[in-house]
Chains A and B, each alone.
Chain A
Amino acid sequence: MVAVELRPEQPAASAGASLDIENVSHAFDLDGSVLRVLDSVSLNVEPGEFVALLGPSGCGKSTLLRLIAGLEPPRAGQLRENGQPITGPHPSRVVVFQDPTLFPWRTVWNNVALGPEAQGSLKQQRERVDATIDLVGLSQFAKAYPHQLSGGMAQRVALARALVNDPEILILDEPLGKLDSLTRLTMQSEIVSLWRSKGFTSILVTHDVEEALFLATRVVIFSERPARIKADFRVDLPYPRHRGDPRLAELRRESLALLGLAASW
């Protein structure tokens, strides 16, 4: 068991993995016709980076996340984690989905414990499960069932369930999309501090330009389907960031322009 060491100031550079996406194309068969969703996407993510993927609704960003998670193989191209080809799901790449998707028949504790349980290491990791539930502030709810939790609490459990595996790449598929705006802001800050303390690589899909700019070190903007990379820029601001920062407002205007919404701003 690896002890969780919290180093809030400097990211633990070793914890994250690099991710290489090379010429990846993907398509779905829909009643005989082929729906192309990704068109030769290439992206190299450094260890410990926080990359936000922005794009119009239904452009294929979430599909890209499924490929990174290894839930599906791409039609063409290759994905590599630390240089190793991605062939299937692995607990080093965990996904937090838009819906918390907690198993309703498991308590909070047992939901978080599923990863270690599947690895056969739950006996050694019990304290780690406790610590991770504590980390997301839900130790009082360890024995509660999912239907007793609010939306924000459920999403925190989903986050803990991912983090307990000590992922090298944390894949966030619009994890805050369904939360109320206050919970959303709180959890944005929580995600930033978790990422900074643990140092994993983060890939976030979001619709929310502000969220992307507030969280990420790098923002990638996709075109309409089939998704192609339209822009890729760094957010050169130190953490913790300020929502009122004029530089953020400037980046926001540029991003919205790239998304085709320049007229409204």
Chain B
Amino acid sequence: MSDVTALHPGDTGLSVATGRTEALTGIAAGLAWLLAAVAAAAFDDLGDWLETQNYAIGVGVFGLSFIVLGLTGRWFPRGAAWVTRAGPWLIALGLVLTLWQLAAAKLGWLPQPFFPPPQGILEVYTFEYEELASHFLASFRLLAVGFVIGTIAGFLVGVSIGWSHKAGYWVHPVLRFIGPLPATSLLPIVFFAFPSSWSASIFLIALAAGFPVAVLTWSGVANVNTAYYDVARTLGVKPLGLIFKVAIPAALPNVFIGLFMALGAAFSALMVAELVGVKAGIGFYIQWSQGWASYANVYAALILLALLCSGSITLLFRIRDRLLSWQKGLVKW
């Protein structure tokens, strides 16, 4: 027994310490959030916010549940593990919420209405969730349709100029000339060239997303190790098979880098399209709220937008991890 502990001196000590660490982290995180709740509930607001009480209750419930998770690690190890891992972040968030609460709502350090307290943002979600949801869906629809059309077109262009010299001869110069142009610079033309501002926006987003996909697909297809083609040809693979069984799978890692860049470009194009053209969507909502000086609505919408963008990238990386599971050392997200 002593031999074992000598070989693994940390093992037993660590597991005991982990139980205590879990409990302590849970309690610390819980106290930080309870502090945020007390800060909200104990003093009167300087302004007129409707959700202060509900906010305090909500934050307090979170704080209590962190404590419970930390203390019940013996029965729910996954919950405790989560609290331990997220602990430092939870503590920091609790303290930030407290400070924010005091600075914005209680002490008046932050000028209103530019920096609303958390309950001000919560109020937007509880009172305007229907409107927010409809704008969110409008943005999502615009982004999804534009991105899918653009990336499919970009992929087809990339494969064709990577594969066929004739296609390369005609399409490559056009791609080089128009591709680097910021899609948004075409705004003045696009909005009268298209029948509706919606189709114009789709075009802008598709153009922005298509370019990086086309370039990276093309370079992926063009740089496939020629030995792969030799092997496939001696095994009797026909030209069409060479495209689908060799060129495209070999280019896929590149294609996904292109898709990642395309998402970023599509977000920018989406915002511009919504700020200038379409009368719906998160971007439009942000601008409209700013016009009314409802900054709480701006923050609420920004948070939704961040979720949309981050969620899209996460989804893309999930798909990539599925498709490229054969690859080593993937880029992390």
CB-contact partner of B233 in A89, A105, A119, A165, under 8 A: A89
Are B230 and A118 closer than 8 Å at their CB atoms?
Answer: no
- In the complex, chain B residues whose CB is within 8 Å of the CB of A161: 231, 235
Which chain B residues lie closer than 8 Å to A93 at the CB level? 234
- Cβ-based interface call for B227 (8 A): yes
A152-186 interface code vs B (CB 8 A; 1 in, 0 out): 00000000010001000000000000000000000
Per-residue B-contact encoding for A56-80, CB less than 8 Å = 1, 0 else: 0000000000100111000000000
Q: Does B249 contact A (CB under 8 A)?
A: yes
- Given known A-B contacts A115-B235, A118-B236, A161-B235, A97 and B230 have beta carbons under 8 A apart: yes
Docked Cα-Cα span, A115 to B325, in Å, equals 23
B302 within 8 A of partner (CB): no
Size of the chain A interface, CB-CB below 8 angstroms: 28
Contact yes or no, A101 B227, CB < 8 A: yes
**A99/B227 contact (C-beta < 8 A), A104-B327, A105-B326, A118-B241 known:** yes
Q: How far is the CA of A95 from the CA of B235 in the complex (A)?
A: 9
Q: Are B246 and A89 in contact (CB under 8 A)?
A: no
Question: Contact flags (1/0) for B232-248 with A, using CB distance below 8 Å?
Answer: 11111110010001100
Which of A71, A106, A107, A118 is packed against the most chain B CB atoms within 10 Å? A118
B228 contacts A103, C-beta separation under 8 Å: yes
Q: How far is the CA of A106 from the CA of B231 in the complex (A)?
A: 14
Q: Which residues of A contact B245 (CB under 8 A)?
A: 114, 117-118
A91 to B233 alpha-carbon distance, docked (Å):
8
Q: How far is the CB of B240 from chain A (nearest CB, A)?
A: 11
A71 touches B234 (CB 8 A): yes
> Least Cβ distance of B330 to chain A in Å?
12
The answer for the CA separation of A93 and B234 in the assembled complex, in Å, is 7
Chain B contacts of A71 at CB under 8 A? 230, 233-234
Count how many pairs of residues, one from A and one from B, have CB atoms less than 8 Å apart in the complex. 71
Hey, which chain B residues are within 8 Å of A107, CB to CB?
326
Given contacts A103-B246, A105-B249, A90 and B236 within 8 Å (CB-CB): yes
Contacts of A146 on B, CB cut-off 8 Å?
326
Instruction: With CB as the reference atom, state the residue of chain B lying closest to A99.
Output: B227
Q: Is A94 an interface position by the 8 A CB rule?
A: yes
Q: Which residues of A contact B246 (CB under 8 A)?
A: 103
CA distance A85 to B227 in the complex (A): 24
Closest CB-CB distance, A151 to chain B, in whole Å? 16
List of A residues within 8 angstroms of B228 by Cβ = 101, 103
Contact A103/B236 with A71-B230, A95-B231, A97-B227 known, Cβ cut-off 8 Å: no
Q: Please tell me if A230 contacts chain B, counting CB pairs below 8 Å.
A: no
CA A97 to CA B225, docked complex, whole Å: 13
Q: Which B residues touch A114, using CB under 8 A?
A: 232, 235, 237, 245
0/1 string, B243-261, CB within 8 A of A gives 1: 0011001101000000000
Q: In the bound complex, do residue B235 and residue A94 qualify as a contact, i.e. CB atoms below 8 Å apart?
A: yes
- Give Cα A69 to B235, complex, Å: 10
Report which residue of B225, B230, B325 has the largest number of chain A beta carbons within 10 angstroms of its beta carbon.
B230
Residues of A within 8 A of B328 (CB): 147
Rounded to whole Å, the gap between the CB of B320 and the closest CB of chain A is: 13
**Bound CA span A180–B320, Å:** 35
- Which residues of chain A are within 8 angstroms of B252 by Cβ–Cβ distance? 105
Determine if B326 and A147 form an interchain contact, defined as CB atoms under 8 angstroms apart: yes
A141 within 8 Å of B (CB atoms): no
A97 pairs with B236, CB closer than 8 A = no
Measured between beta carbons, the chain A residues less than 8 angstroms from B236 are 89-91, 115, 118-119, 165
Q: Shortest CB–CB separation between residue A175 and chain B, in angstroms?
A: 13
What is the CA–CA distance of A80 and B237 in the complex, to the nearest angstrom? 21
Interface residues as binary, A87-129 with B (CB distance below 8 Å gives 1, 0 otherwise):
0011101110101010111110000001101110000000000
Give A115 to B324 CA distance when docked, in angstroms: 23
Least distance between A67 CB and chain B CB atoms (Å): 12
Q: Which chain B residues (305-328) contact chain A, with CB distance < 8 Å?
A: 324-328
- Taking the closest CB of chain A, its distance from the CB of B57, in whole angstroms, is 52
Residues of A within 8 A of B326 (CB): 104-107, 145-147
User: Contact at A165–B227, with CB atoms within 8 Å?
Assistant: no
- On chain A, the residues within 8 Å of B324 by CB distance are 105
How far apart sit A7 and B231, CA to CA, in the bound complex (Å)? 29
- Alpha-carbon distance between A69 and B238 when the two chains are bound, in angstroms: 15
When the two chains form the complex, which single residue of A70, A91, A97, A147 contacts B235, counting CB atoms closer than 8 Å?
A91
- Tell me the B residues contacting A by CB distance below 8 Å: 225, 227-228, 230-238, 241, 245-246, 249-250, 252, 324-328
Mark A residues whose CB is within 8 Å of B. Answer: 66, 69-71, 89-91, 93-95, 97, 99, 101, 103-107, 114-115, 117-119, 145-147, 161, 165
A71-B230, A103-B246 known; 5 new pairs, CB 8 Å cut-off, are A104-B327, A105-B326, A107-B326, A118-B237, A118-B241
7 CB-based A-B contacts, threshold 8 Å: A103-B246, A105-B249, A105-B326, A114-B235, A117-B245, A118-B241, A118-B245
Ordered nearest first, which 4 A-B pairs have the shortest CB separation?
A: A91-B236, A115-B235, A118-B237, A89-B233
